[in-house]
Structure 1
Amino acid sequence: MAGTGQRNNTLINPLAAQAMEKFKYEVAQELGIQIPQSGYYGEMTTRDTGALGGHMVRKMVEAYENSLAGTGNQNQQY
């Protein structure tokens, strides 16, 4: 789809936006990635943004699998 511009990934639950931002900063800190204060990611490397997103997804899948299995930290909020 050429020429569509930037995509806007909308959360299914808009109330989760603040928790997702907090989660993003926590994961970035774990990985040693500095998130721009301006919120503009255009100056970050693709490697860093990919690592950040990939790690977030892995942690969310792990948390969901743990909730299905009835194990792990069920009080964790993201």
Structure 2
Amino acid sequence: MANNNGNSNSGTMTQKGREALERFKMESASELGVNLKQGYNGDLTSREAGSIGGRMVQKMINSYKMQ
């Protein structure tokens, strides 16, 4: 079980990290033709949301392989 008493950085993300991840998500959605808006996107279908996440993972794997 994780210990969340503030002594560890695991599981925390900086503001810069959140912003970079948001840009990455928007870029991936754009490549797939899925229209994301800033903030809440609860009107997306499961297929659309899953395709964005899948595309992000695919790009991360390809980036890792190139290193």
TM-score (norm 2): 0.72
Partner of 1:63: 63
2:14 pairs with 1:19: no
CA distance in 2, matches of 1:11, 1:24: 19
Aligned length in residues = 57
CA distance in 1, matches of 2:65, 2:12: 20
CA distance in 1, matches of 2:11, 2:49: 18
* Deviations 1:19-47, CA, capped at 9 Å, x for gaps: 1111111111110000023x112111100
Structure 1 residues 20 and 48, CA gap change in structure 2 (3 angstroms):
same
List 4+ stretches of structure 1 deviating above 4 A: 10-13
TM-score (norm 1): 0.63
Q: Where in structure 1 are there 5+ consecutive unaligned residues?
A: 1-9, 68-78
Q: Where in structure 2 are there 5+ consecutive unaligned residues?
A: 1-9
Partner of 1:53: 53
**How many percent of aligned residue pairs carry the same amino acid?**
40
